[in-house]
Amino acid sequence: MPEALQHLIAEMTPWLQQYGYLLLFIAIAVEGFGIPAPGQSLLIVASLLAATGQMSLSLVLLVATFAALCGNTLGYFIGRRFGDVLLKKGWIKPKVEDKIHAVIGQYGIAALVLSRFVEGLKQFMFIGCGLAKMPFRKFVMGNLLATSIWVSLFGLGPVLIRDEIAPILAFYHQHKYPTWAIVSLMLMALLLFTWRKWQVKNQ
């Protein structure tokens, strides 16, 4: 196990042991509306603690999913209702707004999936979706997809591959953007195929 991961576990474990699922919920939720927090790190450590019986895996996954969906949705409505105010006060920089709009315009729903794994974007993407007036139905679909993938990888993944987690994390950090570009394209292709199949079935 690499030193960085050992340090992460040593640093996060006492916090989770003291504050448990409440801390996990808050850390994940606040990232959805622009507040940087170690939500992903806490989720990984909580998953590893669940693997040793110190936490409940089902509760870890449930709390993480609910927190992400709630925080992201709140971020969307903040952006939709108060986006102009945030821009005027400088809480969202024009460069960040331009970057978010460019990503949303180019990738659509896949942007929500990609942003969940990119520091800086994941804190503002959901506010950006509201600011860009993304249709709510489209946002909900993207939010569900992004949250499901994120929780599966960082909540369920560490339990299933805890012996191989070190080399996988090393590869992920070295090839973060290509990995998620490929994963997002595959998921979008699967989603499109499923949607078309459903349309044909209901014609």
Nearest to 49 by CA among 19, 83, 80: 19
User: Length of the chain in residues, anyone?
Assistant: 203
Domain encompassing residue 101: 3-201
Residues of the chain with pLDDT under 70: 1-5, 162-177, 179-180, 183-184, 187, 190-191, 193-203
Number of domains observed in the structure of the chain: 1
pLDDT of residue 62: 96
| DSSP sequence for the chain | --HHHHHHHHHHHHHHHHHHHHHHHHHHHHHTTT----HHHHHHHHHHHHHTTSS-HHHHHHHHHHHHHHHHHHHHHHHHHHHHHHHHTTSS-HHHHHHHHHHHHHHTHHHHHHHTTSTTHHHHHHHHHHHTT--HHHHHHHHHHHHHHHHIIIIIHHHHTTTTHHHHHHHHHHSHHHHHHHHHHHHHHHHHHHHHHHHHHT-
pLDDT of residue 5: 63
pLDDT of residue 191: 66
Q: What is the pTM of this model?
A: 0.74
Which amino acid would we find at residue 191? L
pLDDT of residue 63: 97
